[in-house]
Amino acid sequence: MNISLRLLKKFVDLPADLSYEQIAYDLTMRTVEVEDIINTADKFHDIVVGEIKEVKAHPNADALKICIVDVGEDELKQIVCGGSNLTEGHKVCVSKPGAEVVWHGEGEPVLIKESKLRGEKSYGMICGATEVYLADIYPPHDEREIVDFTDLGVECNVGQCVAEVAGLDDVILEVDNKSLSNRPDLWGHYGIARELAAIYKLPFNELSDELPVGLPEYPVTIREPERCNRFTATKIENVSVKESPVWMKTLITNAGMRPINALVDITNYVLLAVGSPQHAYDSTHVEGDEIIVRLADDGEKLLLLDEKDLELTHDHLVICDAVKPLNLAGIKGGKDDSVLDTTDSVILECAIFTAPGIRRTTAYFNEKTDAALRYEKGIDTQRASLGVSLALRLFKEIYPECRITAFTDCYPVKTEKAVIDITQEFLDRRLGEVLPQSEIEDILIRLGYEVEFDNGTYHCKAPTWRSTGDVSIHDDILGDIARLIGYEYFKKQPLKVNFEHSVNQVKADLARKLREYLAFRCGFNEIFTYPWIDERFINAAGIDTDKSIRLATPPAPELGILRSSLIPGILETIDKNYRNFDSFSIFEAAQVFEKGEYRPSTEEEVLPVHRNLLSGAMVGKDAPVLFYSVKGVIEGLAGYCHCEPLDFVQKEKPSWADEKVWLNIRTGKKIIGSIGLISVSALSESGIKLTNAAAFEIDTEGLRPYPSRTNEFKPLPQYPLVQQDLSLLVDESMTWEQIRDAIKYMVKDLKFVEEYRGKQIPAGKKSVMLTLKIGNDDSTMTSKQIEKKMAGIIKVLSNKCKAELR
């Protein structure tokens, strides 16, 4: 919402030495967020009043004239101009070099420079209203007409800035509408002015809320008092469609609306000033001379002011005459029944519609009008009185000849003032300091509360404009007091420390250790991908979507499925990065979802099943190396993260894994995840070429963290161990596990070194190199003992593994 400082000053006398920056700051700190400050005079720089001293013919162009103009500088200036109404001795609007104007009122502003026009020097430009943002204030009668202040009867001085002449030297505070959403009373300058009066402890110029008395009634029926709490109708005769006075057009323009004609402008001005929407009907179009507020029939039609043809339903409230709907209640007028050029008498509606219905109807027709914006916040019914009173005052001012011939105030529901008690003790405790009673009362009274203090309790009546839901409990009053004093003025209160117990959260620690292990020890980069995932990658990973959860309104049609595995996101990430990097490692820790029943907090709330997964991949060229690298990462994980050990079995192939190269990860006897090479089909369906990847996925809920670190200490061997290397020749089918299990009980330590296949190795065989350590517990091994031990080991290998020494 745009707040005009000029309009504000009608309701509160802001001291001259109070800068608008300070006002914006204080409003932001205490009431609403001011997002920007705009000085409306800025675009009028170098646009001034000039007096035409002489008009001469242009030697080379019939349509142009040469004018000698006084622009308030030392010497007179020559300006070439094609205006149709150039008159010697008249004051006009001159753009000097440096000014920015809009050619013929269209396109981007153009910089004015001294130039020559058809061979004659021209200092600047004598402008028409459309060229210098004045069309709304001084509407031109023909295209070539220039702004003639003398003809317009505007008082001004040569050299004076035109913004000042037209009243467009205003400061606009742009308020964030979101910060106003809970304060319906601030949707007008009057409300903001009241806040400023309270902040600066200034007098507030209250408006009259007097209504006409002793007039005949205009027939009004409200059939839906729940939807329309109040409807006032005033019949005003002997009016006409004419321009508003300049002061009103200026204020309407400054606040961001466009002047139309005096009848419409009065309603808009009232809306901007007090936030009370109004509508003027041409009274000759109200058939049967009566107004009925009712719900539309299903299928009923209404043509709006903006030519939009609505098909109404029974949830839409309409203002009707005896025959037809005239207006979409509280949102927008109908085309045929609003003010027309010929209008000479109007029915002025000033009504209160309730928020929920307005919100539904606005959303249904996507009509976010200024009126709807205000009604959907919830307006107190009393505000209509302010609106009627102000509007009638303006009618009498602008149309001294008008007659008010009928008035009705149909008022079925009245906003009741919220009655709230708040104790001094509560305030002291929550504010953290003791404020004097007089200060609390002063703040509340300035904000419109009625306050009585009795025996430690403030008995408060909130003003009606705060009683539509905004203020309802004593905490709301606390908030009003705190913000008006200013949060920055409260002493900082240190937090008390509580030494009952230490914070010990094994699960939270595990989640962090897992990530740190992968990132810092294994060189993985952590990624985040969205929970909704492109179906292409879900299909590539071969994931069954029968149990998947879907979004009702997904970000895009192909993004409707919420993930049940992190692998599709891993595939997408590989696809995104493999052209930039030859090899890389990534991981993601996130929740996945599938249909099922899960009750995290209460019996009544049943959510889908959530699993906390940790997935990752190593990407590169050499598939076996990638696989063993990932396997090594998983093997090291339990030790670093201090959870029960992991091992591998081959039981359930994950859908994304290679036919041969995959394993399940176990802890205890429970399978909690898998590792494997990513299958050829998953890679190719993901568009990944000439690159391999090995991946893992673990359900981290399955990991069983120890309560503390578990690395254990073993005494160092008393006697030296002997290291021996062996190079074995075995059948291709012989696994390391078989070799290891065959001799592990005979040695102190056993390590795999490498596998080798090559020229020297017969077909169907492979060479396995290992290194082992042997030793005695009670003495140093003698060479005889070593020989004997090794012979034993080799014999076992030969028997159990058919291994020969190479």
Partner 1 sequence: MLKKLEQIRQEGFESISSAADMEKLEMIRKELTGKKSSLQEVLKSLGGLDPELRKSVGMKANEVKTFFAEKIKEKEEELIANASVLEGELDLTLPGIEVPQGALHPITQMCYDLNDAFRSLGFEIYSEDDISSEKFAFDNLNFAADHPARASMDTYWLEGTEDKRGNERLCLRPHLTGGSVRYLLEHGAPARFVYPGRVYRNETTDARHERAFFQYEALIVDKDVSFSSGRVMIETILEKVFGRKVNVRMREGFFPFTEPGYEIDMECLLCGGKGCKACNHAGWIEVMPGGVIHPNVLRAANLDPDEWTGFYTNIGLDRLVMMRYGVDDVRLFHSADLRFLKQFK
| Stretch near partner 1 under the rule CB under 8 A, chosen from 220-228, 606-614, 674-682, 770-778 | 606-614
Torsion of CA 132, 133, 138, 140, to 10 degrees: 70
CB 692 within 8 A of CB 626: yes
Residue 366: CB minimum distance to partner 1, A:
11
In the complex with partner 1, the residue whose CB is nearer, 539 or 629, is: 629
- Tokens 């991949």 sit at which residue? 617
Residue 782: CB minimum distance to partner 1, A:
36
CB atoms within 10 A of CB 369: 19
In the complex with partner 1, the residue whose CB is nearer, 287 or 421, is: 421
| Stretch near partner 1 under the rule CB under 8 A, chosen from 450-458, 468-476, 654-662, 728-736 | 468-476
Alpha helices in 447-488 (DSSP H): 474-485
Q: Could you give the CA distance from residue 202 to residue 15 in angstroms, rounded to a whole number?
A: 9
- Tokens 């000439």 sit at which residue? 690
Residue 562: CB minimum distance to partner 1, A:
8
Q: Which residues touch 683 (CB under 8 Å, ≥6 apart)?
A: 571, 689, 691, 692, 693
In the complex with partner 1, the residue whose CB is nearer, 279 or 466, is: 466
| Among residues 175, 518, 566, 793, the one that binds partner 1 under rule CB under 8 A | 518
In the complex with partner 1, the residue whose CB is nearer, 502 or 783, is: 502
Q: How far apart are the first and last CA of the chain?
A: 88
In the complex with partner 1, the residue whose CB is nearer, 269 or 517, is: 517
- Write out the binding residues for partner 1, residues 607-666 only, by CB under 8 A: 607-608, 610
Residue 701: CB minimum distance to partner 1, A:
12
| Stretch near partner 1 under the rule CB under 8 A, chosen from 13-21, 60-68, 86-94, 603-611 | 603-611
- For residue 74, state whether it binds partner 1 (rule: CB under 8 A): no
Q: Could you give the CA distance from residue 607 to residue 594 in angstroms, rounded to a whole number?
A: 10
- Write out the binding residues for partner 1, residues 525-544 only, by CB under 8 A: 525-531
| Among residues 179, 545, 655, 798, the one that binds partner 1 under rule CB under 8 A | 179
Backbone angles phi, psi at 694, to 5 degrees: -115, 135
Q: Could you give the CA distance from residue 199 to residue 12 in angstroms, rounded to a whole number?
A: 11
In the complex with partner 1, the residue whose CB is nearer, 211 or 625, is: 625
- Write out the binding residues for partner 1, residues 296-355 only, by CB under 8 A: 355
| Among residues 301, 414, 550, 788, the one that binds partner 1 under rule CB under 8 A | 550
In the complex with partner 1, the residue whose CB is nearer, 437 or 525, is: 525
In the complex with partner 1, the residue whose CB is nearer, 49 or 462, is: 462
In the complex with partner 1, the residue whose CB is nearer, 133 or 578, is: 578
Q: If you write DSSP's letter for every residue of 36-83 in order, what string do you get?
A: EEEEGGGGGTTEEEEEEEEEEEETTEEEEEEEEEE-SSSS-EEEEE--
| Among residues 174, 476, 647, 685, the one that binds partner 1 under rule CB under 8 A | 476
Structure tokens belonging to residue 52 = 């035409």
Q: Which helix (H) or strand (E) holds 783?
A: helix 783-801
In the complex with partner 1, the residue whose CB is nearer, 180 or 248, is: 180
Instruction: Draw the binding track, 199-238, toward partner 1 (x: CB under 8 A; -: no contact).
Output: ----------------------------------------
In the complex with partner 1, the residue whose CB is nearer, 389 or 565, is: 565
Sign of CA dihedral 756, 760, 762, 767: negative
Residue 488: CB minimum distance to partner 1, A:
6
**Of 389, 439, 7, 393, residue with least CA distance to 193:** 7
In the complex with partner 1, the residue whose CB is nearer, 201 or 496, is: 496
Q: Which long-range contacts (CB under 8 A, 24 or more apart) does 77-80 make?
A: 77/50, 77/123, 77/124, 78/120, 78/121, 78/122, 78/123, 79/50, 79/122, 79/123, 79/124, 79/125, 79/126, 80/117, 80/118, 80/120, 80/121, 80/122
**Of 336, 136, 341, 391, residue with least CA distance to 240:** 341
| Among residues 133, 395, 407, 593, the one that binds partner 1 under rule CB under 8 A | 593
For the chain, state the CA radius of gyration. 42
Read off the DSSP letter of residue 805.
Answer: E
CB 774 within 8 A of CB 722: yes
Structure tokens belonging to residue 723 = 């290291």
Torsion of CA 129, 131, 132, 137, to 10 degrees: 30
- Write out the binding residues for partner 1, residues 668-707 only, by CB under 8 A: none
Count the site residues for partner 1 by CB under 8 A.
92
| Among residues 130, 564, 573, 679, the one that binds partner 1 under rule CB under 8 A | 573
| Among residues 223, 301, 459, 512, the one that binds partner 1 under rule CB under 8 A | 512
Q: Could you give the CA distance from residue 302 to residue 333 in angstroms, rounded to a whole number?
A: 10
- For residue 522, state whether it binds partner 1 (rule: CB under 8 A): yes
Residue 329: CB minimum distance to partner 1, A:
17
Residue 591: CB minimum distance to partner 1, A:
5
In the complex with partner 1, the residue whose CB is nearer, 264 or 482, is: 482
- Write out the binding residues for partner 1, residues 19-38 only, by CB under 8 A: 28-33, 35
Residue 303: CB minimum distance to partner 1, A:
27
CB 729 within 8 A of CB 767: yes
Q: Could you give the CA distance from residue 516 to residue 676 in angstroms, rounded to a whole number?
A: 22
In the complex with partner 1, the residue whose CB is nearer, 213 or 503, is: 503
In the complex with partner 1, the residue whose CB is nearer, 380 or 572, is: 572
| Among residues 18, 57, 111, 363, the one that binds partner 1 under rule CB under 8 A | 363
- For residue 366, state whether it binds partner 1 (rule: CB under 8 A): no
Residue 615: CB minimum distance to partner 1, A:
12
- For residue 177, state whether it binds partner 1 (rule: CB under 8 A): no
- For residue 557, state whether it binds partner 1 (rule: CB under 8 A): no
3-state SS track over 388-457:
HHHHHHHHHHHCCCCEEEEEEEECCCCCCCCEEEEEHHHHHHHHCCCCCHHHHHHHHHHCCCEEEEECCE
| Among residues 606, 649, 680, 805, the one that binds partner 1 under rule CB under 8 A | 606
Instruction: Draw the binding track, 414-453, toward partner 1 (x: CB under 8 A; -: no contact).
Output: ---------------xxxx---------------------
Beta-strand pair 220-222/345-353: unpaired
Instruction: Draw the binding track, 478-507, toward partner 1 (x: CB under 8 A; -: no contact).
Output: xxx-xx---xx-xxxxxxxxx----x-x--
Q: If you write DSSP's letter for every residue of 323-375 in order, what string do you get?
A: SSEEEETTTEEBTTTS--TT--EEEEEEEEE-HHHHHHHHHHHT---HHHHHH
Structure tokens belonging to residue 388 = 């009627």
In the complex with partner 1, the residue whose CB is nearer, 492 or 660, is: 492
Instruction: Draw the binding track, 655-674, toward partner 1 (x: CB under 8 A; -: no contact).
Output: --------------------
| Among residues 323, 419, 445, 551, the one that binds partner 1 under rule CB under 8 A | 551
327 vs 332, 344, 437, 497, 776, CA distance in Å? 6, 19, 50, 62, 102
- Tokens 């609003």 sit at which residue? 338
In the complex with partner 1, the residue whose CB is nearer, 504 or 783, is: 504
- For residue 795, state whether it binds partner 1 (rule: CB under 8 A): no
Residue 98: CB minimum distance to partner 1, A:
24
| Stretch near partner 1 under the rule CB under 8 A, chosen from 280-288, 356-364, 700-708, 759-767 | 356-364
| Stretch near partner 1 under the rule CB under 8 A, chosen from 262-270, 582-590, 646-654, 676-684 | 582-590
| Among residues 75, 155, 605, 737, the one that binds partner 1 under rule CB under 8 A | 605
SS3 677: strand
